Amino acid sequence: MAEEKKVTENKEVTKNVEEAKENYVDERVKQITQEATDAINAVVKVVELLDKENKEEVLKQIEKVLGKLEVLVAKDPTLQAVPIGVREEVVDFPGTVEDVELAKTEVVALIKKGEVALARDIMLNLASELDIYITALPIGTYPVVIKAIIPLVEEGKFKEAKALIVEALETLIIEKVVIPLPILRAEKTIIKASEMTKDDDKANKEELSKLLEYAKEQLLLAQALGYGKIETDYKDLFEEIEKIENKLKGDEGTKGIFENLKTKLSSFMSGFNKAKAPTQMPQAEKEKDKKEN
């Protein structure tokens, strides 16, 4: 690690960040419905019964599955996927902006030398984020698949029926929400500063400067780690920080000086609180057949 000194986080900010992380996860957990969980468990039960090759039991279970799926669709006909599971992971790079830049330089050098495994070891730690993985049931697909296996079961083709259901189970949708911790920390820090200056025109400028310094450090770290569009997303934020820095150095009052920055940070953070499919690996384009028929 480089010798650059890090600014100490305010204890109240630390508490607020931890609470926010829990809330982001809880928000997703609340989206899980018991009906969806029951439906996926019922589908798994069909697979188990197919292994026993008991036609009557399988058909009874299929009827139950279709009933549960119909309940979900009836509640919301536009529903495409229903969350059935949530898990979280945290990767929190402990270093400074200087450490990040040194690490990125080393990664590039290692890749150029063909040391991909070593580069990957560094890259896996070059992040500071809360990752929320959401497993969702593709509600539009399952009724079709379940109905499609009924003729196969009637004909005693249990292996073929199982293959179709297993394929459906393997097509569960996995979405990912990435919450950048440095931006979250900056946001909670500025909210703290905003509370101090909401109605106070003579708040402690030294304390406010420390909070602002920490928020700025975290945004610089987020920028170095590649969260958001580097050229555009941070421009307004740093300009607003500079304005506040100048006000804190002068004789102006402190009332409301953090409100614009708080609003802009809140808007920035909201852009990350959205589920998306995990990034796919690039694939080489297949060579086209140039032969004429």
Residue 71: the pLDDT is 85
The residues, ordered by sequence, that sit 6+ positions from 51 with a Cβ below 8 Å of its Cβ are 158, 162
Given a cut of 70, whether residue 291 has pLDDT beyond it is no
**Average pLDDT over the chain, rounded to an integer:** 90
pLDDT digits 0-9 by tens, 157-180: 999 999 999 988 888 888 999 999
- Whether the predicted pLDDT of 234 surpasses 90: yes
Helix (H) or strand (E) holding 214: helix 205-224
CA 78 to chain centre: 24
**In the prediction, which pLDDT does 217 show?**
96
The Cα 165–Cα 47 span in angstroms is: 7
* pLDDT score, position 2: 46
In the structure, what pLDDT confidence band is assigned to residue 184 with cuts at 50, 70 and 90? very high
Whether residue 255 contacts residue 170, with contact meaning beta carbons closer than 8 Å, is answered with: no
Per-domain boundaries in the chain: 180-270
Biggest CA pair distance of the chain: 87
Segment (H or E) for 85: strand 82-92
Instruction: State phi, psi for 93 to the nearest 5 degrees.
Output: -60, 125
Among 35-44, 51-60, 183-192, 233-242, the minimum mean pLDDT is found in 35-44
Read off the pLDDT of residues 108-148 as tens digits, 9 standing for 90 and up.
Answer: 999 999 999 999 999 999 999 999 999 988 887 888 889 99
